[in-house]
Structure 1
Amino acid sequence: MTESSVQPALWPAPYASGAVEATVSVPGSKSVTNRGLVLAALAAEPGWLRRPLRSRDTLLMADALRAMGVGIDETVSSSSGATGPDGAGGAGEAWRIIPTGLHGPATIDVGNAGTVMRFLPPVAALADGPVHFDGDPRSYERPLHGVIDALRVLGARIDDENRGALPLTVHGGGALDGGPVEIDASASSQFVSALLLSGPRFNQGVEVRHVGSALPSLPHIRMTVDMLRAVGAQVDEPETGGEPNVWRVSPSAVLGRDLTVEPDLSNAQPFLAAALVTGGRVTIPDWPERTTQPGDALRQIFTEMGGSCAFTTTGETTGLTFTGSGRVHGIDIDLSEVGELTPGIAAVAALADSPSTLRGVAHLRLHETDRLAALTKEINELGGDVTETPDGLHIRPRPLHGGVFHTYDDHRMATAGAIIGLVVDGVEIENVGTTAKTLPDFPLMWAGMLAGAGV
């Protein structure tokens, strides 16, 4: 049991009486871990996933793949050192993935994990037998029609009672024709990634053409493409001279690989924000100098909001050190490519010395909760002045006061409230345990960061 799973219903967010000075080791990327699991499950040979994130979303993915017959041995590699703290997916943890023939019948619990509910129906179409998908009540409200409709065009048989959402059953036939398909992925870039990840195993590969309005979270599609190429897939994409809004994956074997998962840079956000809002300094070890993770944009965004950052080396460890200046500035920014960063940026913006406008994130209304409505309500109930716009938020800083900050079972709402609580005394986070979705033991990590800052 992780620390975050036994937190009180109302968690008193620690108040920092001084500048935060800390080094925080952030667990592995959820996005990389779950993509790595899918690709390893589709491979023609066993592979390793080192330093994976161990969280609710990634364990749901692993359990789902096991239900379809994939062998996943959570063990410790003798060549990688010791395991990290419970839930963290430490430096020595490694999962051995042994692909086998995918089969049903199987029942999969997706929880409220977008990657599980969207990445696995294409995998299930390759299984021999029916695979039933169900999840948390909120998962029924999240869009899935892009994946369902596309799979039907590509030859899959799916029973969803015409909901375009969970629950549903994929009647796997052991193979899928594949080929060209048009989808509207404006609700989620995961619709595109879901089809591309399984594309090499389709008889004709897959050609995905996005035909809707602006596509959000493009860095996540770039991550998918990079990881596909790393396992031997041939991918044509707009980034490398291909046709705009079209991705093609050729049919091929998927190679087993030995993949080391990067730290989750989006989950580093609250710790960098702590340095920014307290005028302190936080170092995140192993921050990659080149990455497709959307969280890398924090280096530029938080610098514009009043801090500075640099890659630093201590002993054999290289990391990113972020330093706050003691002032926080507002920002006018399009977050369409990095929408998952919006809650943390909104929290910082509520503490700034000038207004902020966050644009390009209308799709956040369909995430774990309606994040735009939730941020508006919770910050305003602490005395803030936040207004929803058609595609984002306008935030006018006001003196804030303590109170209950509700999370709506959304991990990024919880960490946003914790950021505000650093400099606003008396903030209580409802259900901080929801952070276990992607950041196990967040309360323990937060307390460790603050140990030298005064609480």
Structure 2
Amino acid sequence: MQITPYSAPDFDPYGDRDTPDEEGGPWIAPTASGPLAARLRIPGSKSLTNRELVLAALADGPSLLRAPLRSRDTALMVEALRSLGVAIEEVPGEGGFGPDLLVTPPEELTGSTSIDCGLAGTVMRFVPPLAALALGPVAFDGDEHARRRPMRTSIEALRALGVEVSDEGRGALPFTVHGSGAIRGGELEIDASASSQFVSGLLLAAPRFEEGLRLRHTGERLPSLPHIEMTIHALRARGVEVASPEPGVWSVEPGPIGALDVDIEPDLSNAAPFLAAALVAGGTVSIDGWPASTTQVGDDLRELLPRLGAEVRLEEGTLTVDGGAGVLGGSRPPALDLDLSTGGELAPAIVALQAFAEGPGTVTGIGHLRGHETDRLMALAAVFADVGGQVTELDEGLAITPRAMHGGPWRVFADHRMATAAAIVGLAVEGIAVDDIGATAKTLPEFPELWARMLRGSEPEPAGPAGIDLLGL
């Protein structure tokens, strides 16, 4: 079998695709000219890819990740693990998704290195416990926006476990983990109210702690519980004994993490803007490869979109959303109050749909989104105001009052989901000018190309470098 070192994909957001001008100006979100009839396939889940990369790096033998996502977040994770001594190589894949990844863990993780987290929460929160298991200091830093993301819980958790962390009191990037090659483990209390990733990052490494880990969440809320369930499922699949004896408490027994060959599911949250498009433009959008059961929060779309007026069916692994006449055909979503506490990453797409609804609505349970790639509540309120809409911040969510919108600049704030929300609005509002469509490279580098083909109904073409298989477009 021929193997080659992993190389990050090219993240040029435009490439040979249409750009508004030769100076690299804003991306003008295309409007829909009629109902859709699109069928497509979405690349692998970022959440699953990065969890499986971490577990493979700690496993007791080589693991093969089939159809992994190739994006900026996963490339950053690959490079972070390689800097700790993990071998990650490309091997031929099947099914048009690009190469698979063969991950071979080292006998010992090595420190005395630096790690670029970019804007990836999974890197900045999953990798520090691994760095503590390595020998030598590991310096962490990232993009400018990453330095504003909450990290104090991870830093204080490592200190409580006996790990030296230098952050000059910031509780944020940059910081340095001084690894000693081992973590004792045992009892630990944290407040993970800001992100479930604080819990997942500790659970993923916990089997390698000398005493395992009994972790208790002390905060009043815990967002995105399905992501913790995803972590637990991935651990159990590799033979790790993990339990949750009561809500907010998890125990992981020490022991080996089994080597495992894993098929990575499509990223169902990345499917959200494409499925939402059917409700705006009308017609149908189908996503192939949709799992019958999954731990991904994107599967909540099967329940959410019917409440917003769509017909949804899952048949033989293909999810189809029928938006009927759509907003452009005079059919507006009903006014709803929605709780997205378990699936906050879907909020930008849902808010974009509610901006066209029959009346005012709310999205609540998403206060933790203030600490994501940007303060998403602030950002959504600001960009809708820029184009004539009305979105108002609440303590734990947003209130949406539909208004006639107009074209204008749409600021992304380095957030991929802000960019895809703009694309949804642009289907019905001419002249939405997105300042940084390249932000979508974080989890879906080919978004502009895939979006354009969905709209123009082009013939199918071979999968692109990030593994997108375009079917029947």
Please say whether Structure 1 and Structure 2 have the same fold, judged by a TM-score greater than 0.5: yes
Partner of 2:3: none
Partner of 2:102: 96
The one of 212, 215, 221 aligned to 2:219 = 212
Q: Deviations over 1:35-71 (max 9, x none)?
A: 0000000001000011000000000000000000000
Task: Confirm or deny: 8 A CA contact 1:74 1:94 kept in the other structure.
Answer: yes
1:148 match: secondary structure: helix
Partner of 1:87: none
Q: Tell me if 1:47 matches 2:63.
A: yes
Question: Could you tell me how far apart the structure 2 residues matched to 1:430 and 1:312 are?
Answer: 38
2:341 match: secondary structure: coil
The aligned amino acid for 2:135 is: D
2:13 match: secondary structure: helix
Task: Confirm or deny: 8 A CA contact 2:186 2:211 kept in the other structure.
Answer: yes
Partner of 2:403: 398
Question: Could you tell me how far apart the structure 2 residues matched to 1:95 and 1:335 are?
Answer: 33
Partner of 2:248: 245
Partner of 1:64: 80
Question: Could you tell me how far apart the structure 1 residues matched to 2:281 and 2:361 are?
Answer: 19
Task: Confirm or deny: 8 A CA contact 2:11 2:438 kept in the other structure.
Answer: no
Q: Deviations over 1:275-320 (max 9, x none)?
A: 111121011001011001011101111110010111124xxxx211
Partner of 1:21: 37
The one of 402, 422, 442 aligned to 1:417 = 422
The aligned amino acid for 1:302 is: L
The aligned amino acid for 1:323 is: D
Task: Confirm or deny: 8 A CA contact 1:110 1:116 kept in the other structure.
Answer: yes
Kindly report which structure 2 residues correspond to 1:37-436, keeping only aligned pairs within 5 A, or say none.
37-77=53-93, 80-81=94-95, 84=96, 90=97, 92-100=98-106, 101-237=108-244, 242-313=245-316, 318-326=317-325, 327=331, 328-436=333-441
1:24 match: secondary structure: strand
Task: Confirm or deny: 8 A CA contact 1:5 1:436 kept in the other structure.
Answer: no
The one of 443, 449, 456 aligned to 1:444 = 449
Task: Confirm or deny: 8 A CA contact 1:3 1:443 kept in the other structure.
Answer: no
Question: Could you tell me how far apart the structure 1 residues matched to 2:371 and 2:71 are?
Answer: 22
Question: Could you tell me how far apart the structure 2 residues matched to 1:65 and 1:385 are?
Answer: 43
Question: Could you tell me how far apart the structure 2 residues matched to 1:245 and 1:44 are?
Answer: 29
Question: Could you tell me how far apart the structure 2 residues matched to 1:131 and 1:386 are?
Answer: 42
Greater mean alpha carbon deviation, residues 255-264 or residues 152-161 = 152-161
Question: Could you tell me how far apart the structure 1 residues matched to 2:457 and 2:12 are?
Answer: 21
Q: Deviations over 1:134-157 (max 9, x none)?
A: 111111111111111111111211
Q: Deviations over 1:76-106 (max 9, x none)?
A: 14xx24xx4xxxxx1x521000000200111
- Evaluate the alpha carbon distance shift between residue 2 and residue 112 of structure 1 in structure 2; reply closer, same or farther with a 3 A threshold: closer
Q: Deviations over 1:202-260 (max 9, x none)?
A: 000011100011100000000000000001100111xxxx1221000000100110001
Question: Could you tell me how far apart the structure 2 residues matched to 1:9 and 1:291 are?
Answer: 39
Greater mean alpha carbon deviation, residues 413-422 or residues 318-327 = 318-327
Greater mean alpha carbon deviation, residues 425-434 or residues 57-66 = 425-434
Task: Confirm or deny: 8 A CA contact 1:3 1:444 kept in the other structure.
Answer: no
Task: Confirm or deny: 8 A CA contact 1:142 1:366 kept in the other structure.
Answer: yes
- Evaluate the alpha carbon distance shift between residue 116 and residue 5 of structure 1 in structure 2; reply closer, same or farther with a 3 A threshold: farther
Question: Could you tell me how far apart the structure 2 residues matched to 1:5 and 1:141 are?
Answer: 28
Task: Confirm or deny: 8 A CA contact 2:286 2:318 kept in the other structure.
Answer: yes
Following TM superposition, by how much is the alpha carbon of 1:159 offset from its aligned partner in structure 2, in angstroms? 1.0
Task: Confirm or deny: 8 A CA contact 2:14 2:448 kept in the other structure.
Answer: no
The one of 4, 22, 25 aligned to 2:13 = 4
Question: Could you tell me how far apart the structure 2 residues matched to 1:254 and 1:2 are?
Answer: 33
Greater mean alpha carbon deviation, residues 408-417 or residues 17-26 = 17-26
The unaligned stretches of length 5 or more in structure 1 are: 85-89
The unaligned stretches of length 5 or more in structure 2 are: 1-9, 326-330, 459-473
Q: Deviations over 1:176-202 (max 9, x none)?
A: 101110000000000000100000000
Task: Confirm or deny: 8 A CA contact 2:11 2:72 kept in the other structure.
Answer: no
Q: Deviations over 1:317-357 (max 9, x none)?
A: x2111111332222211111111111111111101122211
Question: Could you tell me how far apart the structure 2 residues matched to 1:5 and 1:424 are?
Answer: 22
Question: Could you tell me how far apart the structure 2 residues matched to 1:322 and 1:406 are?
Answer: 29
Greater mean alpha carbon deviation, residues 396-405 or residues 41-50 = 396-405
The aligned amino acid for 1:35 is: R
Matched residue count:
435
Following TM superposition, by how much is the alpha carbon of 1:3 offset from its aligned partner in structure 2, in angstroms? 4.9
The aligned amino acid for 1:153 is: A
1:423 match: secondary structure: coil
- Percent identity between the two aligned chains: 54
Q: TM-score, normalised by structure 1?
A: 0.94
Task: Confirm or deny: 8 A CA contact 2:422 2:434 kept in the other structure.
Answer: yes
Question: Could you tell me how far apart the structure 1 residues matched to 2:168 and 2:393 are?
Answer: 34
The aligned amino acid for 1:23 is: R
Task: Confirm or deny: 8 A CA contact 1:3 1:441 kept in the other structure.
Answer: no
Q: TM-score, normalised by structure 2?
A: 0.90
The aligned amino acid for 1:16 is: A
Partner of 2:4: none
- Evaluate the alpha carbon distance shift between residue 123 and residue 286 of structure 1 in structure 2; reply closer, same or farther with a 3 A threshold: same
2:399 match: secondary structure: strand
1:169 match: secondary structure: strand
Give the alignment's Cα RMSD to 1 decimal.
Answer: 1.2
Following TM superposition, by how much is the alpha carbon of 1:5 offset from its aligned partner in structure 2, in angstroms? 5.3
Task: Confirm or deny: 8 A CA contact 1:24 1:271 kept in the other structure.
Answer: no
